[in-house]
Structure 1
Amino acid sequence: MTNAPSKKYEHIYLEHKGSITWLVFNRPGQANSFSNELLDEFTDALECLKSEGAPVIGIRGEGRGFSAGYDIGQVGKANTTGQGSAPDPVADRERLSRNVARYIAMWEHPKPIIVAVHGYCIAGATQLCVYADITVVADDAKIGEPTIPIGGGYIAPLWTPLVGHKRAKELAFVPGNSIDGKTAVEWGWANHSVPSDQLVPAVESLAERIAKTPPEVLRIKKLSINRAAEAMGFREAGKHVAEMDALLHVAPSVLELKQKLGEYGLKEVMKDFRSDRTTPLVPSDDKQE
């Protein structure tokens, strides 16, 4: 008999429903952005769910969207030495590496993990989805890059084993570029795209079918498929992203952008990078001569 998880958290919550235990991001007022505290609770909950909860783990976000990615206020502070505003690339790299390690823990987790994406899934939130076993998205979900290009080599490289290098580059080169749920499935980033009001029921139905397979069998099936993916370079893709991002965080153009963020605020700076067109390219309705 399954033991429902009893642990309580502040920035996430666990919800047990039959064959699935939901891990739910619960910062809707902050767009479920990944604060240090939320990430620590996420890591702790994953460890707890190794021995507690249902045979399948589901991850979703409370409110209007899955997650807007890393909490930019905390990220800015984490890039400095703590003495003034001097960048500290060593500390930055360590922080970035810890984040990737949190997602690798999903890859190595003994239970199948399904992510349900609705609303928006931006930047660092997409990294988490890459390491899930299965990703189900709402048709109208917005999945993509941050609007302000103050990082690089941290997000799109993790997409590359799923979507290929050309699509990863197209996504990464345009600030704020995004794809919808149907395109995410077409690209191979997600497994299924469903209407938003059917997202949670669809994942719970899938979990119920998965749970018919004994846990020991699921564990070995996951492990063997992971080994095949790793033989094709999946794990290798994440080895150097922390170094690339930490390097770019001290580039003059990025430091200038961060200064503007401090002076003018996020919304004002975003105006310089917003684009009317998102991936994929939409053919013009004009008749060609």
Structure 2
Amino acid sequence: MADVDFTKDGHVARVHLNRPQGLNAITQEMDDLLLDAWTTINGDPDIWCAILSAEGEKGFCIGADVSSGAERKTRMALGGGLTGIGGPWVQLKKPLIAAVQGFCVGGGFELAMCADIIVAADTAQFGLPETKVGIIGECGVVHRAVRQLPHHIAMAMILTGERIKADAAERYGLVNEVVAFADLAATAQKWADKITAASPLANQAAKAAALGRLGYPLEVALMTRFEEIEQYAESADKREGEVAGGERRKPVWTGR
């Protein structure tokens, strides 16, 4: 099996880190495979949602594999470009669910925070160990953490390197749901079912709008015209939603 498995189940793509012996630390080969996965997901109109998961109970991902040295052979960002750390940034257009267990630290924490929904096993621990071990560089994880966690919680994690457990992460709003490890895959699928019940094109337009003006003042976001929303207005799914509403039935989405 590859160190990154990519499968498609109906309208859901599954991206699975499969290197548990290294706590799913991301190698250059894994970066390449992840880039292929994100590119396929973005380009396939029949994929409406993606789940990112990892093999083994001990760790979701501990970041980049540095066993062969810290230097990377390409400028591609960590996680196949998804994180934006250290190179070109690939933005995933489709909703992404991360299913996290065990150690989720450093670049692995960054990778999880790239998701739109995070479900965590009660074994999960989130952390930024960089300063604790004297490493700091192109560290995008600090920028995401201080935006996705309460300020003082994020800064305490950054400055001490201490980890927080799943229950605290849920309390701080970092994760959507905490479950037993045995229920993690089923819980991620439950969220995927909820997402794929909605219009895929509307979801993609909503994600693009929400994230595209996240760092801007509210008045700027409200005055912005979003190409994805304008394109959705002319789609077959938009018309299907209107017809289904008039006929009092569930819409049948096609992603077109």
Structure-2-length-normalised TM-score: 0.73
Deviation at 1:152, TM superposition (A): 5.2
Corresponding residue for 1:56?
49
Aligned counterpart in structure 1 of residue 142 of structure 2, from 156, 179, 192: 156
Unaligned runs of 5+ in 1: 1-8, 79-90, 234-289
Unaligned runs of 5+ in 2: 219-256
Which of structures 1 and 2 has the larger relative contact order (alpha carbons within 8 angstroms, sep 6+)?
Answer: 1
Runs ≥4 residues deviating over 6 A:
none
Q: What is the distance in 1 between the residues matched to 2:199 and 2:104? A: 32
> 2:112 is matched by which residue type in structure 1?
C
Q: Counterpart of 1:59 in 2: which secondary structure?
A: strand
Aligned residues: 209
Q: What is the distance in 1 between the residues matched to 2:182 and 2:94? A: 26
Q: What is the distance in 2 between the residues matched to 1:75 and 1:115? A: 28
Q: Counterpart of 1:230 in 2: which secondary structure?
A: coil
> 1:122 is matched by which residue type in structure 2?
V
Q: Counterpart of 1:71 in 2: which secondary structure?
A: coil
Corresponding residue for 1:171?
157
Asked if the contact 1:126–1:143 (Cα under 8 Å) also holds between the matched residues in 2, the reply is yes
> 2:43 is matched by which residue type in structure 1?
S
> 1:55 is matched by which residue type in structure 2?
W
Corresponding residue for 1:270?
none
Corresponding residue for 2:197?
212
Q: What is the distance in 2 between the residues matched to 1:208 and 1:224? A: 22
- Does residue 1:37 correspond to 2:29, yes or no? yes
- Does residue 1:98 correspond to 2:83, yes or no? no
Q: What is the distance in 1 between the residues matched to 2:39 and 2:159? A: 36
Asked if the contact 1:115–1:132 (Cα under 8 Å) also holds between the matched residues in 2, the reply is yes
Asked if the contact 1:24–1:62 (Cα under 8 Å) also holds between the matched residues in 2, the reply is yes
Higher helix share: 1
Asked if the contact 2:82–2:114 (Cα under 8 Å) also holds between the matched residues in 1, the reply is no
Identity of aligned residues (%): 23
RMSD: 2.6
Q: What is the distance in 2 between the residues matched to 1:69 and 1:162? A: 19
Deviation at 1:130, TM superposition (A): 1.6
Structure-1-length-normalised TM-score: 0.65
Q: Counterpart of 2:42 in 1: which secondary structure?
A: coil
Deviation at 1:129, TM superposition (A): 1.5
CA-to-aligned-CA distance 1:218-260 (integer Å, 9 cap, x gap): 1111112113423269xxxxxxxxxxxxxxxxxxxxxxxxxxx
